[in-house]
Amino acid sequence: MSLFPISASMEKRLEKLQRDFLWGGMREEKKLHLVRWDRVKQSVRNGGLGVKELRVFNEALLGKWLWRFGKGGLALWREVVASKYGELEGDWCSREVREAQGGGLWSHIRGGYDVFHHYIRIGVGIGRRVLFWEHAWCRDGSLRSLYPNLYRIALDKDAKVADLGEIVGGEVVWNLCFKRNLHDWEVDDFVGLMGTLRRSRVSLEGGDHWIWTLHNSKSFTVKSFFEALAHGRDMEFPWRIIWGSKVPKRVAFFVWTAVWGAILTVDNLQRRDFSMANRCI
């Protein structure tokens, strides 16, 4: 799962094994599945058991290959992928795989880039791999999205940070060129742009690199990516009371089942079409 995409049939088979084990253990006889599987897969905070959804976990594992590609280097596998499919500006990822080029392993991994790159910010070093307008190297996003009016009149929309910035007297000076003089209503945007550039604190030294925004280490982790992909709507659930109590896990599991109203009471058995003897006189 850390390299190959999981097929729908394999996911279905593995989830069935998980469900059967949760409710029946290693015994062969069939047991009732008391709580819906979509609830079981929720995080503990949201009332589930934190069982990982296999498809989402697989996508998170494959994300590490996108991270490794973006870090650059001379790994043979990276050179093969780059040679076959080409690279985006800055060499952060391969170009999108077209059907005519064949599918295969990298096609599936590359398919997750559109989601993956939302959690990436570029740390600017010398700036030769960073597009000034297009790449998300400022904390608030790409300058194209922040200042679309200025982007439309930029003289060189594909300029790199290294092309527009230079160090003068120990400080970075920006040489921005536009197709025409700014109109009055565009001056405020320009002032805002310069403020954004000052806050970015670019040094124009060192290597350009990726920053993973979901973890304090600024490096990619499968766990943080999985949590972002699997994040559902938060709900109120007494998870601390259930799982934080100093009771045996079997007792906590029983309480969790009871909170979901899934204990096999007479009413619940009847809802499952069990025939119950009427003992009322």
**pLDDT at residue 37 in the model:** 87
Residue 98 sits in the same domain as residue 214: yes
Domain membership of residue 278 (yes or no) is: no
In this predicted structure, the answer to whether residue 8 has a pLDDT above a threshold of 80 is yes
Q: What is the mean pLDDT of residues 8-21?
A: 89
What b/e readout covers 73-99, taking b as 16+ CB neighbours within 10 angstroms?
eeeeebeebeeebeebebebbbeebee
Does residue 277 form part of some domain? no
What's the whole-model pTM score?
A: 0.78
222 lies in the same domain as 184: no
- Domain count for the chain: 3
How large is the average pLDDT for residues 72-94? 91
In a domain, 249, yes or no: yes
* 256 domain-assigned: yes
- Clarify whether residues 54 and 177 are in a common domain: no
* Cα 80 from Cα 75, distance rounded (Å): 9
Which range of residues forms the domain containing residue 182?
Answer: 125-207
Same domain as 253, residue 115: no
Residues 108-163: pLDDT tens digits?
Answer: 899 999 999 999 999 999 999 999 999 999 878 899 999 999 999 999 999 999 99
Residue 279 lies in a domain: no
Same domain (yes/no): 202, 214 = no
Residues 42 and 94 in one domain: yes
Model confidence at 27, in pLDDT bands (50, 70, 90)? low
What pLDDT, on the 0 to 100 scale, is given for residue 277?
Answer: 61
What is the band of 9 on the pLDDT scale with cuts at 50, 70, 90? very high
Estimate the share of the chain in helix, then strand, then coil, as percent rounded to the nearest 5: 45, 10, 45
Give the C-alpha separation, 133 to 161, whole Å.
9
Residues 153 and 248 in one domain: no
- Contacts by residues 191-196 (CB-CB < 8 Å, ≥ 24 positions apart): 192/146, 192/147, 193/143, 193/146, 193/147, 193/150, 196/138, 196/140, 196/143, 196/146
Give the model's confidence band at 230: pLDDT under 50 very low, under 70 low, under 90 confident, else very high. confident
- Same-domain pairing of 144 and 262: no
Asked if 162 and 225 sit in the same domain, the reply is: no
160's CB contacts (< 8 A; 6+ apart) are 127, 128, 129, 130, 131, 132
Does position 29 have pLDDT exceeding 80, yes or no? no
* Residue 50 domain-assigned (yes or no): yes
Same domain, 169 and 226: no
The reported pLDDT for the residue numbered 23 is 80
Which of 5-14, 62-71, 208-217 is predicted least confidently?
Answer: 5-14
Pair (132, 171) in one structural domain: yes
Classify residue 156: in a domain, yes or no.
yes
Both 59 and 164 in one domain: the answer is no
